[in-house]
Structure 1
Amino acid sequence: MLSRLLGVEMVVDVAPGVQVWAEEIPGPGEPVLLVMGADAAGLTWPDELVDRLAERHRVIRYDHRDTGRSTHAFDEAPYAIRDLAADAVAVLDAFAIDRAHVVGMSLGGTLVQLLLVDHPDRLWSATVFCTASLQGDPDLPGPDPALLRLWGELTDERDREQELDWRVEHWRLLNGAGVEFDEAWFRELEERIMEHSGREDKPAAHAAAAQDGLERDLTENTVPTLVIEAPEDPVCPPPHAAHLASTIKGATLVRIEGMGHAIPPALATPLAEAILAHTAAVG
């Protein structure tokens, strides 16, 4: 079951007329900023993971623009993916955080790579997983065709129950076959995100956001960086993680067996342990 964490909520101005919702979960150590993937609210970071990280760190998660309780206005005020990286810095500023350990999943891993280049002075460490290198490689495998077909339905009209069913099926494919799929847990997660957001439609703005300015060179990186390999990831399958680690100077590669492109309860603890081992080594 999902627990309800008691955190401090904040609304952060990131651009004229644009605000993002953020939540701080108190903890004893240096702050950890969690940066979620495309079109995913901050509550997609499961409480099981956040609770474990909060045993050692002050943890902050937030809703990207056009997700959760943040401003939904892409059609009126379009932005680029790189602007979402600037939003992460604005969240740190709002909580008066000079430096943080930053963790990014999927698109969040892209944003963390941008932070490594543009704002290394704001990072104690970086952890990225289920993401691709900003340097790219045309020979690496692409997403599972079944996912591509499902993504073609992203903006189709659905009522609430149909939308829940679609999201659960999406998680089923993302979860992969490495660990048993907990359908009830993912359905409860999405019900909670709908309640948090006050919306039942599937966010889709990030797929339309401009992607210019994303090609970066991390061969001179100075921030301790952990790359986590998810061997069952249907979006960025192996050897994406190994390639990513090879493009970031000094990066460490750790494999979590059974992990796909999701954080089910069975993997929250090993994922937390990998992150905490990295932050402890840096500290």
Structure 2
Amino acid sequence: MQQAHQQFVDAAPGVRLWTEQRGPADAPPLLLVMGAQAAGLGWPEPFVDALAVQHRVIRYDHRDTGRSTWSFDEQPYRITDLAQDIVRVLDGLGIERAHLVGLSLGGMLTQIVLADHPDRVLSATLMGTSAMSTTPYTRPDGTEVPVDELPGIAPEVLEMWARPVEDHGLEAELDRRVEHWRVLSGGQLPFDPAHYRDLERRIIEHTGRYDVSTAPARADHSGMLRTEALATTEVPTLVISAPAEPVFPPPHPQHLAQVIQGANLVEIPGMGHALPPEVQGPLAEAILAHTGKVG
């Protein structure tokens, strides 16, 4: 693991975000944006190290995750405020423009930033997410599918998300999180419970608590669509297609690549809504090939 530098930045009055930087300080910045309820340590160490060979890699904790301020109950915020936090992280670290890599909700937030602040984005990489656009999906045969008729979240995932999260102690919470990762992984690659248990144990140690915030589900989700801006953006964008994706299954990635002007699509074999060791190398390779084409 490469040496990392930690720093807090201000996102709002009374709200501070934990950040970590790794890689050469003079290398092109690359900011990793995690999904809902997920701390920055959800980006695996070997994956971050692989990107840090060519980039100054930054990962951070969203509000109400990790070591950032848990503020929603006292200061409710909108999901679009979490997109603005990306810009605040760049501002706080003195970064003018960065490559953005977003997973799940992080992919939605990244789309909002590339639409609203294209001058701050060198390139975007989106994975495990859906398009912030009302443009229909065009099938290979030319027929159109309205956005609301695209495939939904897998029933197994919805059933897991519907269960109340109860406190039965640390080990029981680790059991629950490992099962959650099993469901999200999609079943095409071997599942290693020990890998995810170790990951989540490190996240809990980093956070200092093992409860999970429900803030993303309770936050205002309005005002997230960016149909016209995505259709005309000049920001180089890579869309990762994950064939085992259970949250935003194909053709969500294909739709995303259609609605963002000039987007490229790369499939990572076996990938679901998780980052197991088997996908980290091919994924880093695809991202570095994408960012390497940008000035």
Partner of residue 213 from structure 1, selected from 206, 214, 223:
223
**Does residue 287 of structure 2 align to residue 275 of structure 1?**
yes
Please name the residue that 2:161 is paired with: 151
Please name the residue that 1:56 is paired with: 54
Partner of residue 256 from structure 2, selected from 244, 247, 259:
244
Secondary structure of 2:20 counterpart? strand
21-30 vs 51-60, greater mean Cα deviation:
21-30
Secondary structure of 2:81 counterpart? helix
Give the letter aligned to residue 257 of structure 1.
P
TM-score by length of 2: 0.93
Please name the residue that 1:23 is paired with: 20
Aligned mates of 1:22, 1:110 — CA distance in 2: 20
Give the letter aligned to residue 5 of structure 2.
V
Please name the residue that 2:138 is paired with: none
Please tell me whether the aligned partners of residues 182 and 191 of structure 2 are also in contact (alpha carbons under 8 angstroms): yes
Please tell me whether the aligned partners of residues 154 and 202 of structure 1 are also in contact (alpha carbons under 8 angstroms): no
- The one-character-per-residue Cα deviations of 1:199-238 (angstroms, maximum 9, x if unpaired) are 1112321111110111112111110000010110000000
Partner of residue 9 from structure 2, selected from 12, 19, 30:
12
- The CA deviation at 1:157 is 2.9
Residues 279 and 125 (structure 1 numbering): CA distance in 2 closer, same or farther, change over 3 Å? same
- The CA deviation at 1:154 is 4.8
Aligned mates of 2:94, 2:23 — CA distance in 1: 14
Please tell me whether the aligned partners of residues 154 and 204 of structure 1 are also in contact (alpha carbons under 8 angstroms): no
Aligned mates of 1:199, 1:133 — CA distance in 2: 33
Give the letter aligned to residue 19 of structure 1.
R
Please name the residue that 2:192 is paired with: 182
Q: Alignment identity in percent?
A: 55
Secondary structure of 2:119 counterpart? helix
Give the letter aligned to residue 29 of structure 1.
A
Written as runs of structure 1 = structure 2, the 5 A alignment for 1:90-239 is: 90-136=88-134, 137-217=147-227, 218-239=230-251
Unpaired runs of 5+ in structure 2? 135-146
Secondary structure of 1:138 counterpart? helix
Please tell me whether the aligned partners of residues 36 and 108 of structure 1 are also in contact (alpha carbons under 8 angstroms): yes
Aligned mates of 2:51, 2:131 — CA distance in 1: 26
Partner of residue 38 from structure 2, selected from 37, 40, 43:
40
Superposed CA RMSD in Å reads: 1.0
Please name the residue that 1:66 is paired with: 64
Please name the residue that 2:269 is paired with: 257
Aligned mates of 1:224, 1:81 — CA distance in 2: 24
Please tell me whether the aligned partners of residues 9 and 93 of structure 2 are also in contact (alpha carbons under 8 angstroms): no
Please tell me whether the aligned partners of residues 155 and 204 of structure 1 are also in contact (alpha carbons under 8 angstroms): no
Please name the residue that 2:139 is paired with: none
Question: Matched residue pairs, number?
Answer: 280
Please tell me whether the aligned partners of residues 23 and 54 of structure 2 are also in contact (alpha carbons under 8 angstroms): no
- The one-character-per-residue Cα deviations of 1:57-89 (angstroms, maximum 9, x if unpaired) are 110000000000001121111101100011111
Secondary structure of 1:55 counterpart? coil
Unpaired runs of 5+ in structure 1? none
TM-score by length of 1: 0.97
- The CA deviation at 1:105 is 0.4
Secondary structure of 2:231 counterpart? coil
Aligned mates of 1:22, 1:221 — CA distance in 2: 28
